[in-house]
């Protein structure tokens, strides 16, 4: 059991100092081990990682951290939840540039999809998201970042092996490199 010093809950000591909040805390219960860290927690079942991203945490950085910690270099990501801020990118194939736009409003994630690969030895996430607001209109695009307003539930389905990425001058994007 991996625990930081502090309060004891269910046989596991939880961190009490802010400096300890960056460490993983493993809590074992009847359903197996749950990994907890400031802003999120997850549980692995087979090849899948069930992730709960907490209020005020940023989704893309959490997913990247989990993939790095677990050496996930190929996989699929799906999810939903509620956000209070999101930045989308739109790729213009003529200029080969992304234009980013940030929306600061409470929205529901209607769909979060993407994949995990590697580029230059680092975890590479390619994510797209749709979200709808109180007017029930949906916006979406390439996910740059999103901050959770209540919670987000995401599944990472890890695949054995790895998939690389390589920049294509012709297209202007980092494409799968088999």
Question: Among residues 123, 148, 118, 119, which one has the least CA distance to residue 67?
Answer: 123
| Residue ranges covered by each domain of the chain | 1-38, 39-177
Task: Report how far residue 82's alpha carbon sits from residue 65's, in angstroms, rounded to the nearest whole number.
Answer: 20
Q: Torsions phi, psi of 4, nearest 5?
A: -95, 165
Domain 39-177 belongs to what topology? 60s Ribosomal Protein L30; Chain: A; (3.30.1330)
- pLDDT, greater one: 28 or 154: 154
Task: Report how far residue 106's alpha carbon sits from residue 131's, in angstroms, rounded to the nearest whole number.
Answer: 9
Please report which confidence band the pLDDT of residue 12 belongs to, taking 50, 70 and 90 as the band edges.
very low
Residue 173 has pLDDT above 90, yes or no: yes
Please report which confidence band the pLDDT of residue 25 belongs to, taking 50, 70 and 90 as the band edges.
confident
Residue 164 has pLDDT above 80, yes or no: yes
Q: Region 55-61: what's the mean pLDDT?
A: 98
Contact 88, 142 (CB under 8 A): yes
Model pLDDT, residue 23: 62
Residue 144 has pLDDT above 90, yes or no: yes
Spatial neighbors of 15 by CB under 8 A, at least 6 apart, are 4, 5, 6, 21, 23, 25
Spatial neighbors of 62 by CB under 8 A, at least 6 apart, are 39, 40, 51, 53
What's this model's pTM, rounded to 2 decimal places? 0.85
Please report which confidence band the pLDDT of residue 29 belongs to, taking 50, 70 and 90 as the band edges.
low
């Amino acid at each position: 059991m991996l625990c930081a010093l502090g309060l004891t809950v269910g046989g596991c000591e939880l961190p009490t100092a802010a400096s300890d909040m960056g460490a993983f805390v493993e809590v074992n219960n009847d359903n197996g081990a749950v990994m907890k860290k400031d802003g999120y927690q997850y549980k692995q079942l087979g090849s899948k990682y069930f992730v709960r991203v907490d209020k005020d945490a940023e989704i893309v950085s959490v997913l990247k951290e989990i993939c790095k910690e677990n050496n996930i270099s190929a996989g699929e990501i799906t999810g939903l939840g509620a956000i209070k801020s999101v930045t989308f990118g739109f790729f213009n194939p003529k200029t080969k540039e992304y234009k980013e736009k940030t929306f600061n409003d409470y929205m529901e994630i209607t769909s979060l999809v993407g994949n995990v690969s590697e580029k230059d030895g680092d975890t590479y996430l390619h994510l797209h998201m749709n979200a709808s607001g109180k007017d029930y209109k949906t916006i979406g695009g390439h996910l740059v970042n999103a901050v959770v307003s209540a919670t987000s539930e995401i599944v990472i389905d890890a695949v054995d092996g790895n998939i690389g990425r390589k920049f294509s001058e012709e297209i202007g994007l980092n494409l799968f490199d088999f």
